[in-house]
Amino acid sequence: MKIKSSEKNELFICLIFCYSTPMELKTLITKPGKDYELIDSGNEEKLERYGKYVLRRPDPQALWQKMLPESEWKNADAVFDANKKTWKKKNEQMQNEWQIGFGEIKFNIKPTAFKHTGVFPEQEPNWQWTQEKIKNSLAGQAGRKLKVLNLFGYTGGATLAALSAGAEVTHVDGSKSAVSWAKENAEASGLDKMPVRWLIDDARKFVMREIKRGGKYDAIIMDPPSFGRGGKGEIWKIEDDLLPLLTECAKILSDDPAFFLINGYAAGYSAIAYYNALKPLLAKYGGSFELGELAIEESKGKRLLPCGIFVRWLKS
């Protein structure tokens, strides 16, 4: 079969497009540490140690068989009951609140009715990356201030990472209790005197006001949920609101931004989708992207438990 000249050109263009993709998907892995480890997982559950206590709770991603016998799982200090949305203590001596650390960052652990503990351990590689990039940006530039905006900041992991590296941070979350918890973690980490603004606010409304005020940031971090409510009942739906928020955030970046980091937990979404949305907005700055999955490695079986996705852009 002969191919016409025009068809050859189209085929050549197609091959270039197909094989010159700039993306290489990565997996960022949180490994077992002094204060946290994923002991085992499977049958839609996970067994984790937070400091001195072992917790057992549901995880829909764990679609494989457990490696440890049920007798070990039954030794957990507390188990989350998904039907009653409450934790059942097996160890009556277990405290309602205790502290663990990830490097310089300290967290007050408080198991909640939503099965959460107040920290997402899979974010440890992103916290380390944030610290490294901020320190690199500030190195050799005496007097420079690097301003970071953390949207949907929850209990402050990314905020504390940025503060510990020397940045000024604006922490925004629609939940009063989450912001209070973040402040507690800052105090526990010895970072409460650092330059940080704690704001209970709707993320999009805050960014819109910053556009009008001429506010600028050198780095933006965000962890948008699939659905949420702002401090005054504002509705957030990721399918409707993520792209407008990203577009608005691009308007409050400084002339020489350092980085942009998005984490994702919404079911059914890919890191590639977030990358496709973010890349055109940052094209004028150049730089490079990394994207992929967040995962935690089991301490026993060494399997990886997928926990979310990420996209991060770095100016240089």
Does the domain at 23-314 match CATH 3.40.50.150? Answer given as yes
pLDDT of residue 168: 98
* CA pair distance 156, 180, nearest whole angstrom: 10
Q: What is the pLDDT of residues 86-132, one digit of tens each?
A: 999 999 999 999 999 999 899 999 998 889 999 999 999 999 999 99
Q: How far apart are CA 38 and CA 41, in angstroms?
A: 8
- Domain boundaries defined on the chain: 23-314
pLDDT the model gives residue 169: 98
Could you read off the pLDDT of 169-190 as tens digits, one per residue? Answer: 999 999 999 999 999 999 999 9
Global confidence as pTM: 0.90
Quick: pLDDT tens for 192-241.
999 999 999 999 999 999 999 999 999 999 999 887 776 677 787 888 89
Asked whether the beta carbons of 293 and 309 are under 8 A apart, the reply is: yes
Taking the C-alpha atoms of residue 57 and residue 252, their distance in angstroms, rounded to an integer, is: 40
Residue with tokens 């910053």: 210
